[in-house]
Amino acid sequence: MTIAALLPTDSFNVVVLAAVFVLIALGLHFTFGMLNVVNLVHGEFLLIGAYTAFQFQEWTGSVVVGMVLAPLVAAVLGVLMERGILRFLYERPLDSLLATFGLSVIIRQLVQVQYTANPRTVNDPIGGSFVALGLNIPWWRLVVVAATVALVFVVLGLLNRTGFGLYARATVRNPDLAETMGINVGVIRAALFAIGCGLAGLAGALLAPLNTLNPQFGLLFLVNSFLVVILGGQGSLRGLVAAGILLGGSLGILQFNISTVFAQIVVLVIAIVGVRLRPIVSEKLSVRRDRLRRAEALSGA
């Protein structure tokens, strides 16, 4: 008997949920993790992405065009929001929290006015599933997992291997010094906000076929996005991925045994305990890294 045979046939959902937790938090890594804006409008950018996919499905009969355009629509709206409002509030975190809360309510209400509160559905662009290792794997869910993995590597590459990434890291760590060293901090911040909103829009479009759409769609993901970014360590992409896998994976496993509501409560407890323990773990890892570095230096000498 293989291990796979012991698992429920829908065990792949554990992987999917882990990927979804990472996917919904990727955009927040830019707006909250890097730019330090307590971005309560993040969920509404998922909403914008999802409804962009829905709207294009209505217009063209195909959801794919909408999915491609969703991140662009969200990014453009994100830039307008950042340049119009949030750029004045970087040094005023409480005001930015209030502003993003207000914007989230406005966007939600506008969506409700336009599309009503009735549930909407976005078609699965591929449909169907296949069986592998005894597990039932829906094609679209596999696409969501693959897209998440690809996006993580793209974001890692963007931030660590490009000139833009270097300027962005410098900007978020010391904006005054960055500005006086020739970096246009305003442009970098706007670009980071646009990328964050674009990623949220893309996440919303990718997740739309897996959920019923309504104006509350973004709220479903907002709290979990913040949990992932905070548990992973604000500004740490690797931490975000680890936290997303931990929380999403835990939720997926727990849902086999207990109700979704209790599973979410347990996930919250895991997040709280994790946040409490993270400094201790970080300290131990840091000490270990220093020891290794010293040992390497001694062996080199």
Partner 1 sequence: MSAVLTVSNLHAGYGDTTVLRDVSFEVPAGEVVCLMGRNGAGKTTLLKALMGMLRKTGTVLLGDEDITSWKGHRINAAGMVWVPQESSVFPGLTVREHLVIAQRGNNVEKGIAQAAELFPVLGERLEQEAQTLSGGERKMLGIGQALVVNPSLILMDEPTEGVAPVVVQELIPAIALLRERASVMLVEQNIDTAIALGTRAYVLEHGVIVESGDVNALHDDGTLAGRLAL
Residue 186 is a binding residue for partner 1 (CB under 8 A): yes
Which of 92, 161, 173, 291 lies at the binding interface for partner 1 (CB under 8 A)? Answer: 173
Residue 259 is a binding residue for partner 1 (CB under 8 A): no
Q: Shortest distance, CB of residue 219 to partner 1, whole angstroms?
A: 34
Nearer to partner 1, 96 or 171 (CB): 171
Count of residues in contact with partner 1, rule CB under 8 A:
18
CA distance 297 to 284: 20
Residue that has been written with the tokens 């604000």 in this structure: 234
Residue 176 is a binding residue for partner 1 (CB under 8 A): yes
What is the DSSP code (8-state) at residue 37?
Answer: -
Q: Shortest distance, CB of residue 183 to partner 1, whole angstroms?
A: 6
280 CB-near residues (< 8 Å, 6+ apart): none
Q: Which of 102, 36, 101, 76 lies closest to 197 in space, CA to CA?
A: 76
Q: Which two tokens stand for residue 182?
A: 């020739």
Residue 38 is a binding residue for partner 1 (CB under 8 A): no
Q: Shortest distance, CB of residue 173 to partner 1, whole angstroms?
A: 5
Q: Which two tokens stand for residue 109?
A: 């209400």
Residue 180 is a binding residue for partner 1 (CB under 8 A): yes
Residue 121 is a binding residue for partner 1 (CB under 8 A): no
Which of 19, 26, 41, 178 lies at the binding interface for partner 1 (CB under 8 A)? Answer: 178
Neighbours of 103 (CB within 10 A): 18
Q: What are phi and psi of 130, to 5 degrees?
A: -140, 165
Choose the binding region for partner 1 from 163-171, 216-224, 245-253, 258-266 (rule: CB under 8 A).
Answer: 163-171
Nearer to partner 1, 168 or 245 (CB): 168
Q: Which of 116, 120, 118, 136 lies closest to 128 in space, CA to CA?
A: 136
Q: What are phi and psi of 213, to 5 degrees?
A: -85, 135
Q: Which stretches of the chain bind partner 1, using CB under 8 A?
A: 163, 166-167, 169-170, 173-174, 176-186
